[in-house]
Amino acid sequence: MTDAEFMDRAEALLNGIETNCDRLNEEMDVDLDNQRIGNMLTITFSNRSQVILNLQKPLQEVWLAARSGGYHFRWVATGWEDSKGLGSLPSILARCASEQAGRDLQFTSLSS
């Protein structure tokens, strides 16, 4: 994948996550504050904990940092998969966000 293709997919992913945060705030009345600065997206929960997603263009990876740890995702065939085989980015993001929010949160239709 070229750097341009990576950035297109990664930007679409971050945009999809932002859209999901807005949807969750409206539908579930959760207090998610999402802030995007360049290639980094920070989701802050009502308890002040954070999940941070960061694009690593030289490595063509998306990094996710949460209370439960750090994850590195690479594009594999049709989606973002953890480099250690721990799962897809949407499922790991949902798990981490749910743990930190104290309620079940699902991230759907994340653009690739």
**CATH classification of the domain holding 39:** 3.30.920.10
Task: Average the pLDDT over 20-30 and give the result.
Answer: 90
How many structural domains does the chain have? 1
In a domain, 111, yes or no: no
Residue 29 belongs to a domain: yes
Residue 99: band (very low, low, confident or very high) from pLDDT cuts 50, 70, 90: very high
Distances (CA, A) of 49 to 42, 43, 112: 10, 8, 27
Residue 110 lies in a domain: no
Does residue 112 lie within any of the structural domains? no
pLDDT digit string, tens, across residues 59-95: 999 999 999 999 999 999 889 999 999 999 999 999 9
Which domain, by its residues, includes 52?
A: 3-101
Residue 111: pLDDT above 70?
no
SS3 of 17-43: the string is HHHHHHHHHHHHCCCCEEEEECCEEEE
Residue 107 in domain: no
**Alpha-carbon distance 79 to 69, whole Å?**
21
Q: Does residue 106 sit within a domain?
A: no
* pLDDT over threshold 80, residue 40: yes
